[in-house]
Structure 1
């Protein structure tokens, strides 16, 4: 009886799984990766239908603790041993079944290995930022994408992770941010698709507002009826007498919204003011114009790889 208890505690398939989970719980990723059967080669990923070029950045550096770990069952059949474990990862309850096989023995004591690696792949798409955080670990998409520095903003990034594991993804940059999205990886060699949409920060919106204000102020310095490249103008059928004077009495209040992998200014109303004298072609009479000119503008905002914002303002449907 004592021998069975020792086997169960130290040498059984359940003990093997509990040792692996204790390494995860204590954050020892490198040691967990050395547990027999954990490390996976690219051909095994491909055979499981997973990206064989997945980055191992998270596998090595971003573990969250597991608690309330309990072995629910241990079964053995012709295919090997199967250990089902329940646990809590962060605030989430989870259950995972591990497949094991005999690896040999040391004396009369059996040794084990995972017959199916407990690693998985998070297929992560982050909109609105090339940088993001996973469990507080900062990642730049261009550092982990198979495309490297040529990675497109819309590209999903495949990331190898341990199962079980909880991974919180969020964006926190000067331009954009998001609330955390929690992802529970609970199945070996499973693909876990995750999409995060970030939103513009108030600081970024203010920068866009300032840039648009400057642009419209420059538009108002043009002493023509239709300032070039600007979203407002004044159309007359007669001749002007002298140069028009524009002012920007009510600059539009800017909002910024996601637009694909970039940002956009949605249709926004503003009010310019024009002062100009108009002379009638028909009878030569002079009319003094001093009035508000309402207009609508839109804008596109592109962020360069260096983080510089390029803002283009126009009237709706204009080229």
Structure 2
């Protein structure tokens, strides 16, 4: 082959190489493919890959701009937390800008909803100096403000978290905790809580990319919680009834008699107050609730000296507050 022939062949090879390189940079290494891979990682619950995608992590300056503390919780950035990720992803457009950035718009299904989002990406140092690489110009992470009402613990996906984990001092004692969490987005999360004493109805949250969302996990007393408090109330009243005095000490019932008492008073509980619990400012509270005690006592009239047995029902009210201790025991305070 002549020199001209070899030169022509070399031109063809070089041209084919650059054509293939251009095709790769438009497809596999293109901005659209970068977004598709990120969304696919979320759908596959590969949160390690999604969260380490260039441009996802937030630095201290970005956290400050979002009004977030430097130690904002990243506990939700793990496998087993996302309820559903983006499925049926379709790239709707990929618009290149003069500064080299791209705006990629994708359509996808999140649970039962069809969602469309736009992502801004920018080029970073090429792979091997020739293959395009990208990063998010704006992190797609969502901020989820979780209100853990009446209980610091909540469950998201398969993970149970404590909303007090990054707090200290007086904040630890708050009955309701509000805590921000970084979360992979776009994705759907389910928040709930269930224990022997407390239960929160599951709440579904759609976290959109680069957005801030709020969810409340509203823990309410279970029937078992109410029953345990009821047992304590019944035992307390039964103990009060053993006191053979007109005014049992530190008890909600008693009686004053003008005549002479000539025998030990005998108390019994006719009707126990039925416990109901609702969240208050710092505890689960039972409002003033009526019960009935009965007294039987031998008395002598100061007027004519007659002796008789006084039998009388004595209505009373009882109110209390209940809190759950760390060992799951219940602390009850009468009001």
TM-score by length of 2: 0.85
Q: 1:260 aligns with which of 267, 275, 281?
A: 281
The answer on whether the counterparts of 1:145 and 1:151 sit within 8 Å (CA) in structure 2 is: no
State how far apart, in whole Å, the 2-side matches of 1:118 and 1:56 are.
14
Distance verdict in 2 for CA 1:286–1:9, change over 3 Å? farther
| Distance change >3 Å, CA 282–CA 72, structure 1 → 2 | farther
Q: Distance in 2 between matches of 1:120 and 1:24?
A: 13
Alignment of 1:70-81 (within 5 A): 70-78=90-98, 80-81=101-102
Q: What is the alpha-carbon distance in structure 1 between the residues aligned to residue 246 and residue 114 of structure 2?
A: 67
Q: CA deviation at 1:211?
A: 0.9
Equivalent residue of 2:176, what SS? coil
**Cα distance, 1:124 vs structure 2:** 0.8
Could you tell me which of 195, 198, 209 is aligned with 1:187? 209
Contact 1:212 1:313 in 2 (8 A): no
Residue 47 of structure 1 and its aligned partner are, at CA, apart by 1.1
- 1:294-313 aligned at under 5 Å gives the runs 294-313=315-334
1:30 is the counterpart of 2:59: no
Q: By how many angstroms is 1:78 displaced?
A: 5.0
The 1:68–1:226 alpha-carbon spacing in structure 2 relative to 1, beyond 3 Å, is farther
Distance 1:274 1:199, change over 3 A: same
Structure 1 stretches lacking a partner, 5+ long: 315-319
Distance 1:8 1:148 in 2: 54
SS of 2:201 mapped into structure 1: coil
**C-alpha distance in 1, partners of 2:254/2:204?**
50
* Deviation (angstroms), 1:246: 0.4
RMSD: 2.4
Length-normalised TM-score, structure 1: 0.89
The whole-number CA distance in structure 1 between the counterparts of 2:281 and 2:113 is: 32
CA shift digits 1:194-242 (9 cap, x unpaired) = 2221111111111111111111110111111221221222233333222
The answer to whether the aligner puts 1:64 opposite 2:86 as a matched pair is no
Pair 1:104 & 2:128 matched = no
Q: Partners in 2 of 1:164 and 1:57 — Cα distance? A: 17
Residue among 207, 212, 224 paired with 1:203: 224
CA 1:69–1:158 in structure 2 vs 1: closer, same or farther (change >3 Å)?
same
